[in-house]
Every structure is written in C-alpha cells, then in structure tokens.
C-alpha cells in the first residue's frame, strides 16, 4: 500500500496527544499507580538483594520471585504484584514472560499449595451496630463525626476511598431525603456521575441525614465533608481542622468501635448482607453499591454462619 505523504504530515501534529492518551490509558487511576509503584519497588529491592537484573524480567527471575512471595504473601498480593510488573512491561512495550511454561507452572503450584480463597471483611451484627450508633452523642463533635462515618459508610455502602473523597458540595437535600453525588470511584474511572440515595429514619438517633445536618452545623459551606480533629493546647481539648480524613483513619475508626476483626470494608459488606436478608433484589442493592453484576452482590453477601443462615431451619418439621 502506497503511503500518502500529505496525510502522514497532517497526522504528525497529533503525535504528542496520541502519546499522552496512550500513557494515561496504560497507567490507569492515580490510586492504582501508587499501588503499582509500591509493588515495583518491592520487586526491584528483592532483585537487588539477589544480585540479579529486575527489568525486563526474565522467566527464571520472575519464577524465583513468585516462589519467594508464596512463603510470605497471600494469593491476592501475589496477583497484584504480578499485575504491577506486567504493567511496567506494558508501559515500556517489553515482552512479559507470564506465559513462559516455568512461570505458569509456578503460579499453578502456588494456587494448589496455598489455595486462592481470600479472607473477606466480616459483616457485623445489625442489633449491635444499632446499639452502638444510638450511644454516640451528637453534642460531642468527635463522636458525631465518627457516628456519621459509620452511618454513611453503612447506609451508603461506600468504599473508604469514596467516603473520604466526599465534599460538602456533593450533598443535595430534599423533603424526600438526601442525594450524594460521586464524581469518581474504583469502578468509575471516567468521571461519570454516580449518585447514592439516603432516607430519613424514624429514630433520630439512627438517621444518617439528621446526623449529617448536625455535623454540617459545625462545618463551612464547602470543602471536604469528613475531616480530622487535632488536640488543642488545653488538656483533652480537640480542634476541628480542614484536613480530609484518610482511608487509614476510617479503617482505624471502624476497628475502634466494632472490633479489630472488622475493617472499613465491613460497612459495605454489611449493607449488602442486611439488604439481601431483608428481601432486596440485586438491582436494588446495585443502585447503592454501584456494582456492575449480580455475581459481585453474591460475593459480598456474608452468610458464612451455617447455624444462622441455613435452610435446615425452614424444613417445617
């Protein structure tokens, strides 16, 4: 095929833009980039300790690294670190030896020996959660903030990254309740508008909207919704800041109130479990969680207690 010099010259001016968008497409979201960078550093440091070259990865080196990870990491961590190393090769347009027979065999061996079942964040008992929420005082700013984190995290089925990213400008109140708009999330990397609905609860102590209204009375009209407290000069005094709460802070907060076996993800898992057990269909649950498939809803439903969730109790004998 004969090339058209005029056409090629016309397209040259787009080269920089093409390169920019290719790079953005390969790199992915900012949080993903940070996770990959951490995993790449781990791999490079391991290679340096062994006195071998890290990149481009050789099948022998990669196999040995995977064998090392198998002794100290969960399967999910091994998968994530493999993905990070693969991403480096994609960005550099280098061949990644993931299909080399030795690498494939090592991964299969790890799967068989270690197993692939991930430990899931447990769902909490709804009665205990209700009692906890009712006990947190609205006239105590720290407890009010913590109550709001727990209530919004649960009733909104938020991921912790979504929760801490909320701004006051994302809130829209009406007589029917509250709409919170999310600009971006783990499963929405392209900035499509996603919204979550919240409703008034007949018990004011359990109502996320009333807790939110009381919290906003302490906050300016815009900026991060959930912020940190700092200790003041006087003993026991705390000062409200404009510093956005971190994902780690949310996780620690959940553990503090609910127990160390729980995590921020337990709020989301508990929403799905409670909604399903109370008769919500998958589409209703997905309206709040923003999951894309029913398969994920089944995965999030925590019914592992074989005594509590068992058809053997419904035999009619």
pLDDT for 28 equals 54
State yes or no: is 186 an active-site residue: yes
Q: Domain containing 195 — which CATH number?
A: 1.10.443.10
Confidence band (pLDDT; 50, 70, 90) for 315?
Answer: very low
Q: Are residues 78 and 132 in the same domain?
A: no
Q: Are residues 53 and 152 in the same domain?
A: no
Owning domain of residue 86: 14-114
pLDDT for 118 equals 54
State yes or no: is 265 an active-site residue: yes
Q: Domain containing 34 — which CATH number?
A: 1.10.150.130
Contacts of 67 (CB under 8 A, 6+ apart): 106, 110
State yes or no: is 89 an active-site residue: no
Are 140 and 227 spatial neighbours (Cβ–Cβ below 8 Å)? no
pTM of the model: 0.64
Question: Does 77 score more than 60 pLDDT?
Answer: yes
Residue in 160, 196, 268, 290 annotated catalytic: 268
Report the side by side order of strands in the sheet with 178-182.
171-173, 178-182, 194-198
Q: Are residues 283 and 181 in the same domain?
A: yes
Are 138 and 144 spatial neighbours (Cβ–Cβ below 8 Å)? yes
- Give pLDDT tens digits for 5-41: 554 555 555 555 554 544 555 455 566 677 778 888 8
Q: Are residues 138 and 102 in the same domain?
A: no
Question: Does 245 score more than 90 pLDDT?
Answer: yes
State yes or no: is 300 an active-site residue: yes
Q: Are residues 134 and 98 in the same domain?
A: no
- What number is the average pLDDT over the span 64-68? 91
Residue 2 lies in a domain: no
Residue 197 lies in a domain: yes
| More confident call, 18 vs 225 | 225
Q: Are residues 100 and 237 in the same domain?
A: no
pLDDT for 104 equals 92
pLDDT for 125 equals 83
Residue in 265, 276, 290, 302 annotated catalytic: 265
Which residues are registered as beta bridge partners of 243? none
Question: Does 144 score more than 90 pLDDT?
Answer: yes
- Give residue 35's Cα distance to chain centre: 12
Q: Of the residues 70, 88, 114, which one is the last residue of a structural domain?
A: 114
Q: Are residues 138 and 103 in the same domain?
A: no
Out of 54-63, 219-228, 272-281, pick the least confident: 272-281
Q: Are residues 139 and 107 in the same domain?
A: no
Residue 256 lies in a domain: yes
Residue 7 lies in a domain: no
Residue in 43, 65, 262, 300 annotated catalytic: 300
20 vs 15: CA distance, rounded Å:
9
What does R_g of the chain's alpha carbons equal in angstroms?
Answer: 24
Residue in 159, 196, 290, 302 annotated catalytic: 159
Residue 4 lies in a domain: no
Q: Are residues 75 and 132 in the same domain?
A: no
Question: Does 153 score more than 70 pLDDT?
Answer: yes
- For strands 194-198 and 227-231, give the pairing: unpaired
Question: Does 299 score more than 80 pLDDT?
Answer: no
State yes or no: is 268 an active-site residue: yes
Residue 121 lies in a domain: no
Q: Of the residues 70, 89, 114, which one is the last residue of a structural domain?
A: 114
pLDDT for 306 equals 42
Residue 310 lies in a domain: no
Question: Does 83 score more than 60 pLDDT?
Answer: yes
Q: Of the residues 92, 114, 136, which one is the last residue of a structural domain?
A: 114
Confidence band (pLDDT; 50, 70, 90) for 1?
Answer: very low
- Give pLDDT tens digits for 178-198: 999 887 655 555 556 788 889
Q: Are residues 155 and 291 in the same domain?
A: yes
Residue in 111, 186, 248, 308 annotated catalytic: 186
- DSSP state at residue 16: H
Tokens of 306: 């074989």
Are 201 and 213 spatial neighbours (Cβ–Cβ below 8 Å)? no
pLDDT for 304 equals 52
Question: Does 4 score more than 80 pLDDT?
Answer: no
Q: Are residues 27 and 71 in the same domain?
A: yes
Number of domains in the chain: 2
Question: Does 50 score more than 80 pLDDT?
Answer: yes
Residue 265 lies in a domain: yes
Q: Are residues 23 and 130 in the same domain?
A: no
């Amino acid at each position: 095929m004969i090339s058209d010099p005029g056409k090629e010259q016309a397209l040259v001016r787009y080269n920089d833009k093409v390169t920019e968008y290719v790079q953005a497409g390969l790199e992915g979201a900012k949080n993903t980039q940070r996770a990959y960078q951490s995993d790449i550093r781990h791999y490079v440091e391991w290679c340096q300790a062994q006195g071998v070259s890290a990149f481009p990865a050789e099948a022998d080196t990669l196999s040995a690294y995977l064998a090392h990870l198998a002794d100290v990491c969960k399967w999910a961590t091994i998968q994530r670190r493999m993905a990070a190393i693969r991403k480096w090769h994609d960005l550099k347009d280098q061949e990644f030896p993931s299909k080399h027979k030795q690498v494939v065999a090592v991964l299969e061996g790890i799967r068989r020996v270690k197993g692939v079942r991930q430990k899931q964040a447990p769902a909490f008992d709804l009665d205990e959660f209700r009692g906890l929420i009712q006990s947190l005082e609205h006239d105590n700013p720290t407890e009010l903030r913590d109550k709001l984190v727990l209530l919004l995290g649960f009733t909104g089925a938020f991921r912790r990254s979504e929760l801490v990213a909320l701004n006051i400008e994302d809130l829209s109140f009406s007589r029917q309740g509250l709409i919170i708009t999310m600009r971006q999330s783990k499963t929405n990397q392209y900035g499509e508008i996603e919204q979550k609905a919240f409703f008034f609860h007949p018990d004011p102590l359990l109502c996320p909207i009333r807790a939110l209204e009381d919290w906003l009375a302490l906050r300016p009209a815009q900026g991060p919704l959930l912020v940190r407290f700092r200790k003041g000069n006087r003993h026991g005094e705390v000062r409200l800041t404009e510093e956005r709460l971190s994902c780690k802070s949310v996780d620690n907060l959940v553990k503090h109130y609910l127990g160390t076996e729980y995590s921020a993800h337990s709020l989301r898992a508990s929403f799905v479990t409670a909604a399903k057990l109370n008769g919500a269909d998958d589409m209703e649950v997905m309206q709040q969680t923003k999951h894309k498939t029913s398969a994920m809803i089944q995965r999030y439903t925590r019914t592992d207690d074989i005594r509590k969730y068992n058809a053997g109790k419904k035999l009619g004998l």
